Structure formats: structure tokens, C-alpha cells
């Protein structure tokens, strides 16, 4: 009898454990089913503007413009306040952004030439790591005509989702093409608004996806023409109230005030759109898992030093805004950083922040260890113009090839004939006093010349006449040294 009772008890005990296991298993399945997608890998969003100089934001102290949304982003971001565009012109910067290489390596040192379709690009690397990749807006790396389709396949350099245009500065009802449709499409209205909405839709569509995303939203503004922002924004800026930089000559002041009013109108519209993107990221619960980079491909002289647009080594041309919003879980403190981040550094830094191996084709610096306080890098940046073209070859004295070195305090440039510019950017922030040949700065000039020579040696730059590089790469140019383009 005793044995039968024990046997019966044993059966009940086994049944009990079985029922408990079944309940636990079902609860675990339910838990797994309800668990949100893996958010261990951050999304990446690059907000790229065209021709937005570093000085033209509220947080940088520009008295003419309020940028409340960017100011809020800057307050929680790493701000590389000395960041530069190493070759301050459209296509070279964009090629460096995509490849992590310098222009003499990737070969895009002119506008309107094609980036090698075999290049190891940021999109291709993120794709291999399981990211969904997307591109919206201005491309300027295809060289097949500015209004023509960048055909699906290798010419899109690894980007899977596409709503882009090669290059246009008609910001109202401008041209674009989408994923697989070869037919030309038109943005309805001001393209800055439409591109923003397209990006928001893309991000919303990724919310329930298994994979994180990496997307570049590439705006065409505030690049000239300056007076084409919506009237609502243009009405905010009275040219007569614009405060000019001290390096704008008297002969240009009235024109520059007019143009700056339009430039700031584009910027005000962009600031609103950046705010809209961030607001939607927060509403969708993705903000805290998204690395956001805000930058520009180069600046705009806008009358400073008697010139417009870019290519030159002056502050208004070469220095660009550079914000990195980094999710809290990466434990990188926000705040200003002194390092001179350059164009080719963006790709390796983003890969580093996402714990992705950096290809050996990359020449730029991964700034993650610097941001974590583990390394000291970025004391010096190299600026260059391989071949002047376009508007710079049409100025009074003509453009010039140059190589320049920029430190936190100084800018030193030489052209093919020898030393050209030397500025103390701290004591002379408007770069009004060229110190080249000044007896009191002979030792400094010699030291900067040695640093520049060493940097050129390290990068394999022989600093030859621009036409030699054009011949090497086989680019067709007109009488101004510009690659002709068609629409």
C-alpha cells in the first residue's frame, strides 16, 4: 500500500512539473511575440545641406538668423565647431562622404564627374551589416547630365531606397527619380519640404522593420539662387537690417545684403524641416536609437573677400557645421569639440559608432575614440584645390591650385608659386591680414610650411598643376578648366 501511494505521488509530481513547464513555455512565447524588434544597433540619419557655411546658425552666433531647431539639436550633440570641407566644392565632398577617401584617391576633384561604381561606399558597407539604406535629394556623383536619372544598380553606389536627383538648383517643382521607375518626376512645390516628407515616410516605414536604417537626406538649399524660398520665409528678412561680416568690401555691400536675406530665408525653411524630422523621430520612438549627423558639403563666401560661393580656403568657404547627435546608450557626452574633423572622417566615424569594421580603403579618421576621451586627434586638417573651375576661374585674377593646412589657430596656404596665405584665425577671425612674408611671423610660416609638406608626403600628394591630374583621370574640360555638363 505504501509503495502504491508513493508511486501515485510521483506521477502527480511529474504531472505538476509538466504543467508548470507548459505554462512557462507559453508565457515565454508570448513574451517573445510581444517583444519589440532588436534596437541594439542604432539607426543613422545624415542631414546634408548644400553651401551652408558654419557661421550661419543661431548656435554659432550669427546675428541675422534664428535656428531654434538646430540650436536644440546642438545642445544635445557633439559639435565639431572647427570642422572643414577638405575640398570645399560639391562633388568632391560628396565622394569623400561616401568613400571615406580624399579627392586624389577617389578621383572626384571636379564637379560633374562620376564616382567609380566599384568604390567601397558607406551604403555598401551598411548593407553588408544588414542595414536598410536610403538616399533622398541631391546626388551630384553620376556625371551623366544634371537632370538625368541615376539609373538603378551600381551607379547608386549601394543605396537601396532612392528618391533623388543628380543636381538641380530649381528648388520649386524640381526633378527627381524614384526606386525603379525611369520616368522623370516632379516634387510638388518647394523641394526642401517634399524631400523632408519623403524622409519621414521612409523612417516611419522602418519602424516595424527587423533591420536598422542608414539614410542620407541631401538638401539642395541654401545654395544659390538665393531668392527662391517660399514667400513666408523671404518676408522674414529685411536686407537693410542684415549685419555683414567685416571682410565684405564696400563695393559689394548692397548686393550681399540682398543675397544674404534670401540665403537666410532658405536656412530658416531648412531649420523648420530639420525640426520636423526630429519631431517625427521622437513621436515614432526612434530618436533615442538614431545617430543624427548635420553638416554641409561646403560653405559660401557670399561677398567675403570680394567673392561668392566656394573652392577657396577662407573660413566662409571651407568651414562647415558638424553636429553628431549620439544616443545616450553610447555614453558619449554632448558638447563642443576642438578637433578639425574633415570630410573623409564622416564615414569611418559613423562605422565606428555602429561597431562596424572600417574597410582598409578608408583614409579618414574614426572619431569615436576621440569623442570618448581615449585619443587626441584632429589637430590639423588639409585643405586643397586640385583644379580651380567654374566661378573661381572667372574672377579677376583667376583661380589657383593650392594646398593648405588648417590648425585651431592658423590657416596657411601655398599655391604652385609658393606661400600664398597665412592667417591667425583667433586674433584675425575675418582673415583680413595676410601674414605671408611678415618678418614677425617668419618662424611660424616656416613651421606651418614643414607641417604642410609632411602632411602632403603622408597623403601621397605631389601637388602638381591641376591639368596633370585632369589628364591622368581623363576628364574633358573647357577653356576655364571646367568639366562641361548638360541637363
Q: What are the catalytic residues?
A: 90, 140
Cα 213 to Cα 129: distance, rounded to the nearest angstrom? 11
- Angle between helical axes of 90-99 and 346-353 (0-180°, round to 10): 30
Question: DSSP states of 219-265 as a string?
Answer: EEEESSPTT-S-HHHHTT--GGGPPPPTTS-GGGHHHHHHHHHHHHH
Q: Phi then psi for 372, rounded to 5 degrees?
A: -85, 0
Q: Phi then psi for 326, rounded to 5 degrees?
A: -125, 125
Give which of 198, 369, 214 is closest to 290, Cα–Cα: 214
Q: Is the peptide bond before 421 cis (omega within 30 degrees of 0)?
A: no
Sorted by sequence, the CB contacts under 8 Å of residue 359 that are 6+ apart come out as 100, 120, 125
- How many residues are there in the chain? 487
Specify whether the CB–CB gap between 403 and 419 falls below 8 A.
no
Cα 275 to Cα 71: distance, rounded to the nearest angstrom? 10
Cα 238 to Cα 276: distance, rounded to the nearest angstrom? 26
Specify whether the CB–CB gap between 441 and 427 falls below 8 A.
no
What does the longest C-alpha to C-alpha distance in the chain come to? 116
> Which stretches does DSSP call E strand in 41-143?
43-50, 78-80, 132-138
Specify whether the CB–CB gap between 440 and 352 falls below 8 A.
no
Amino acid at each position: 500500500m505504501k509503495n502504491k501511494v508513493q508511486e501515485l505521488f510521483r506521477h502527480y509530481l511529474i504531472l505538476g512539473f509538466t504543467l508548470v513547464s507548459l505554462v512557462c513555455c507559453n508565457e515565454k512565447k508570448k513574451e517573445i511575440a510581444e517583444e519589440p524588434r532588436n534596437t541594439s544597433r542604432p539607426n543613422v540619419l545624415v542631414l546634408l545641406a548644400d553651401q551652408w557655411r558654419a557661421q550661419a546658425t543661431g548656435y554659432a552666433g550669427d546675428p541675422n538668423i534664428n535656428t531654434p531647431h538646430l540650436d536644440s539639436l546642438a545642445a544635445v550633440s557633439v559639435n565639431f565647431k572647427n570642422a572643414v570641407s577638405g575640398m570645399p566644392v560639391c562633388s568632391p565632398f560628396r565622394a569623400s562622404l561616401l568613400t571615406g577617401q580624399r579627392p586624389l584617391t577617389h578621383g572626384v576633384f571636379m564637379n560633374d564627374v562620376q564616382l567609380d561604381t566599384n568604390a567601397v561606399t558607406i551604403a555598401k558597407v551598411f548593407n553588408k551589416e544588414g542595414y536598410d539604406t536610403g538616399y533622398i535629394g541631391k546626388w551630384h556623383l553620376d556625371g551623366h547630365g544634371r537632370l538625368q536619372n541615376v539609373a538603378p544598380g551600381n551607379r547608386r553606389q549601394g543605396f537601396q531606397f532612392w528618391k533623388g536627383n543628380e543636381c538641380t538648383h530649381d528648388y520649386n517643382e524640381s526633378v527627381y527619380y524614384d526606386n525603379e521607375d525611369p520616368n522623370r518626376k516632379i516634387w510638388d512645390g518647394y523641394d526642401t519640404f517634399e524631400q523632408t516628407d519623403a524622409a519621414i515616410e521612409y523612417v516611419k516605414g522602418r519602424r516595424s522593420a527587423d533591420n536598422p536604417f542608414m539614410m542620407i537626406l541631401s538638401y539642395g538649399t541654401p545654395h544659390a539662387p538665393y531668392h527662391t524660398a517660399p514667400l513666408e520665409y523671404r518676408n522674414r528678412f529685411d536686407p537693410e537690417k542684415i549685419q555683414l561680416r567685416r571682410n565684405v568690401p564696400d563695393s559689394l555691400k548692397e548686393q550681399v545684403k540682398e543675397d544674404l536675406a534670401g540665403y537666410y530665408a532658405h536656412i530658416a525653411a531648412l531649420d523648420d524641416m530639420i525640426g520636423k524630422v526630429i519631431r517625427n523621430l521622437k513621436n515614432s520612438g526612434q530618436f533615442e536609437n538614431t545617430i543624427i549627423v548635420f553638416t554641409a558639403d561646403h560653405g559660401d563666401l557670399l561677398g567675403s573677400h570680394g567673392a561668392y560661393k566656394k573652392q577657396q580656403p577662407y573660413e566662409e568657404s571651407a568651414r562647415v557645421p558638424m553636429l553628431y547627435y549620439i544616443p545616450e546608450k553610447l555614453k558619449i557626452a554632448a558638447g563642443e569639440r576642438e578637433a578639425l574633423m574633415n570630410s573623409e572622417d564622416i564615414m569611418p566615424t559613423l562605422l565606428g559608432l555602429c561597431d562596424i569594421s572600417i574597410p582598409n580603403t578608408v583614409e579618414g579618421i574614426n572619431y569615436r575614440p576621440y569623442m570618448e576621451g581615449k585619443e587626441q586627434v584632429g589637430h590639423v586638417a588639409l585643405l586643397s584645390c586640385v583644379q580651380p573651375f567654374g566661378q573661381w576661374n572667372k574672377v579677376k585674377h583667376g583661380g589657383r591650385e593650392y594646398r593648405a593646412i588648417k590648425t585651431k589657430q592658423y590657416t596657411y596656404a601655398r599655391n604652385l608659386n609658393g606661400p600664398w596665405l597665412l592667417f591667425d584665425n583667433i586674433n584675425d577671425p575675418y582673415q583680413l591680414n595676410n601674414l605671408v612674408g611678415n618678418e614677425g611671423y617668419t618662424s611660424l610660416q616656416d613651421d606651418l610650411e614643414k607641417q604642410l609638406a609632411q602632411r602632403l608626403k603622408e597623403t601621397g600628394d605631389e601637388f602638381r598643376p591641376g591639368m596633370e591630374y585632369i589628364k591622368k583621370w581623363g576628364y574633358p574640360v573647357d577653356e576655364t578648366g571646367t568639366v562641361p555638363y548638360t541637363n
